[in-house]
Structure 1
Amino acid sequence: MTASRPPEQLLHPRPEGLYCPAGDFFIDPVRPVPRAMITHGHADHARAGHGTVWASPQTLDIMAIRYGEAFCDTRIPVEGQTEAGGIRVAFTPAGHVLGSCQITVDDGSTAITVSGDYARADNPACAPFQLAPCEIFVTEATFGLPVFNHPAPLSEIEKLLRSVAAQPERCHLVGAYALGKAQRVIALLRQAGWEQPIYIHGALQRLCDYHIEQGVDLGDLRPATTGDGKAAFKGQIILGPPSAFAATWAQRFPDPVICFASGWMQVRARARQRGVELPLILSDHADWQDLTRTIQELAPQQVWVTHGREDALVRWCELNQIAARPLRLVGYEEEAD
């Protein structure tokens, strides 16, 4: 049995990110480091320039797509468990985006699970969330307020399809982030029975192609440049990154219904600020119910809360006799979704 050490010695925040001294590695560091373990491929968690990177095979592929093949010196794909400096490390599906994992570090006496970003709602574009047992759970709190109670994903897709059917003279332009959200929206549309082509912005193409290579059924995808004038897009669904909506790209479509897929669309003021006509409350993060359910099911001795609404979740833990504290990390104050 390994002698017990204070948990802060096993894993603690440094300016670069969460650091494990015994294994001499960081988890999701915000600046280049010699040794990094990465939870998933979103840019606020996965950065280029590290020496050695441990991650799921899919996350390593996604980083290469986004940053180029030379994004790090050495790649170490992990499926399940590995070891670093005598520390056992387990990668467990997080349900957030393709390849996303929670990372558990275990010195034989204490296990700390860093959830990264996670979600427990239906997502046909990635592996489902699995509990990663631990004594200390490091949880995100992107939607860490009781007001955030997200609807079933297919109900939001059905809302989109009803709008398409009711306005056949218009196209529906859906804003969705390039990694994860776009592919999830497309896969859910296929689940809901939409068999027509879906048109996509060029910025989504390579990541959509990779999801298809990994067995995610996205159906008939076509470039959003296809068609003879604006009339060709009437009654169609087009996906693009939110940044494209302020560009001339969006002007090629006939009187578009502006939609945006995000958990933040539950906040009406955010929808109005973006000029969204049809908000789609579709999140790749756990809402309040799933945050608290996960903590209850794990029953950890401590909870460390980061990047989000820490105070409310810390208070909920205290009321439920669970030790908790905020773990404020630079670079993760609020997650895009």
Structure 2
Amino acid sequence: MFSFAGQYGGASTRREGAQIRPVTAPHPETWLKVTPSGLFCEPGGFFIDPTRAVDRAVISHGHSDHARPGHAHVLATAETLAIMTARMGEGRAGVAQQALGFGETLVVNGVRVWLRPAGHVLGSAQICMEWQGSRAVVSGDYKRRPDPTAAGFEPEPCDVFVTEATFALPVFRHPPAEAEIARLLRSVALFPERTHVVGCYSLGKCQRLVALLRQAGWDRPIHLHGAHVALCRLYESLGVPLGMLRTATVAKKEELKGAIVLAPPSAVADRWARRLAEPVVAVASGWMRVRQRARQGGVELPLVISDHADWDELLATAEDVQAPEIWVTHGREDALIHALSLRGIRGRALHLVGRGDEEEDTDAAEAPAA
């Protein structure tokens, strides 16, 4: 077992939703330490999203820059454990696994641990910890927009909040995802003889796009690159309906006229896409806000659809969690720390190593290229 045993029955002390930390409570920096392996909860004896194999790991979500193979014991949501196992194989996603649901609490060596939805992908969670009256929350990656495939972000008041900063510049203000899907469908209607191939990450983004297309009324089959098939099947087995899906590689070119194909970003511009019918190349990513990036990638239809919080949402989250101190990791720390200081919030750059951006298709190599 993970050695996370027992349920915690007491209620935390709050006033009007704000966390009250006793004067004698230790500051989180005294017990939550940055190490070469990642953030380490010293009294609890566990790491959060460690970058190398450790004895005990708490994992926020299944993307490869947060979920690494080889840990002895892994604690996460049931969905994240299933995703890790599907991507890494039996035994590599933790010799022993323990699922913790939202609303459940464990006490580990005096540290109270619970998970709150992060809204990033299916099963993604914020790691909440409280020790001797001091509370810290590690967000992992998160977004604040509605997503039919993932539980929505829930702010947790705390003394220290650890936030990502992927899109922490004022230029990044994401439009409604529904509006971007409408742009895609207008293009499909305008070019009925061409295949629209959309580059998107295999975990989270692909399934979200399928669900958004279904919500917009697209009831035709959606074709998938081979790299996307397994995780879509897993999502469906975990209770996320995606409708009729087909593998693009077995479809005839004539069948793909007017169709929508989802593929890894790395595949939409290479020879794989040549099998499609005069493809319209699209990519769904927050980085499509940067026009030069879209042009350099040969993207004809950039879709600004992100699974990360944008600039306004990062600042709104800082207000919602009511933390006097926010630690910033893997992104544009300087701009966010400056903006936080103007709001009376102390910011600190963690400089954690090994954190990337899954929207860059960082682990497409894990999937088959079919």
Matched, 1:273 2:296: yes
Q: For the Cα contact (< 8 Å) 2:26–2:132, is it kept in 1? A: no
Greater Cα shift, 182-191 or 124-133: 124-133
SS for the counterpart of 1:336 is helix
1:162-311 equivalent positions in 2, closer than 5 A:
162-228=186-252, 230-311=253-334
Q: For the Cα contact (< 8 Å) 1:33–1:49, is it kept in 2? A: yes
Q: For the Cα contact (< 8 Å) 1:164–1:235, is it kept in 2? A: yes
Using the alignment, how far apart are the partners of 2:296 and 2:344 within structure 1? 40
Using the alignment, how far apart are the partners of 1:9 and 1:322 within structure 2? 19
1:150-169 equivalent positions in 2, closer than 5 A:
150-169=174-193
Query: Structure 1 residue 206: deviation in Å?
Result: 1.1
Q: For the Cα contact (< 8 Å) 1:2–1:109, is it kept in 2? A: no
Using the alignment, how far apart are the partners of 1:318 and 1:292 within structure 2? 11
Query: Which residue of structure 2 lines up, in the alignment, with residue 56 of structure 1?
Result: 77
With the length of structure 1 as denominator, give the TM-score of the two structures: 0.97
AA in 2 matched with 1:89: V
1:87-126 equivalent positions in 2, closer than 5 A:
87-126=111-150
Aligned-residue CA RMSD (Å): 1.4
Query: Which residue of structure 2 lines up, in the alignment, with residue 145 of structure 1?
Result: 169
Aligned pair partner of 1:16 in 23, 33, 37:
37
CA gap of 1:327–1:270, structure 2 versus 1, over 3 A, is: same
1:123-142 equivalent positions in 2, closer than 5 A:
123-142=147-166
Query: Which residue of structure 1 lines up, in the alignment, with residue 10 of structure 2?
Result: none
AA in 2 matched with 1:163: S
Q: For the Cα contact (< 8 Å) 1:150–1:282, is it kept in 2? A: yes
SS for the counterpart of 1:41 is coil
Q: Deviations over 1:213-246 (max 9, x none)?
A: 2222211001102333x22211000011123235
Query: Which residue of structure 1 lines up, in the alignment, with residue 90 of structure 2?
Result: 69
Q: For the Cα contact (< 8 Å) 2:269–2:298, is it kept in 1? A: no
Q: For the Cα contact (< 8 Å) 1:9–1:20, is it kept in 2? A: no
Q: Deviations over 1:170-218 (max 9, x none)?
A: 0100011100000000000000000100000111111101111222221
Using the alignment, how far apart are the partners of 1:122 and 1:256 within structure 2? 30
Using the alignment, how far apart are the partners of 2:151 and 2:241 within structure 1? 14
With the length of structure 2 as denominator, give the TM-score of the two structures: 0.88
Using the alignment, how far apart are the partners of 1:172 and 1:42 within structure 2? 26
CA gap of 1:298–1:188, structure 2 versus 1, over 3 A, is: same
Percent identity, aligned pairs only, is 52
Using the alignment, how far apart are the partners of 2:304 and 2:107 within structure 1? 39
SS for the counterpart of 2:355 is coil
Query: Structure 1 residue 3: deviation in Å?
Result: 5.1
Q: For the Cα contact (< 8 Å) 1:142–1:335, is it kept in 2? A: no
Q: For the Cα contact (< 8 Å) 2:28–2:159, is it kept in 1? A: no
Q: For the Cα contact (< 8 Å) 2:201–2:358, is it kept in 1? A: no
Query: Structure 1 residue 247: deviation in Å?
Result: 4.1
Using the alignment, how far apart are the partners of 2:258 and 2:356 within structure 1? 39
1:295-334 equivalent positions in 2, closer than 5 A:
295-332=318-355, 334=357
Using the alignment, how far apart are the partners of 1:210 and 1:241 within structure 2? 17
Q: For the Cα contact (< 8 Å) 2:135–2:159, is it kept in 1? A: yes
Using the alignment, how far apart are the partners of 1:336 and 1:181 within structure 2? 9
Using the alignment, how far apart are the partners of 2:188 and 2:55 within structure 1? 50
1:6-45 equivalent positions in 2, closer than 5 A:
6-45=27-66
Using the alignment, how far apart are the partners of 1:324 and 1:333 within structure 2? 21
Q: Deviations over 1:46-105 (max 9, x none)?
A: 000001000000000000000001112110111132222110111100000000000011
SS for the counterpart of 1:225 is helix
Query: Structure 1 residue 136: deviation in Å?
Result: 0.6
Aligned residues: 336
Query: Structure 1 residue 5: deviation in Å?
Result: 2.1
Using the alignment, how far apart are the partners of 2:41 and 2:121 within structure 1? 25
Using the alignment, how far apart are the partners of 2:301 and 2:269 within structure 1? 17
Q: For the Cα contact (< 8 Å) 2:63–2:358, is it kept in 1? A: no
Using the alignment, how far apart are the partners of 2:322 and 2:210 within structure 1? 35
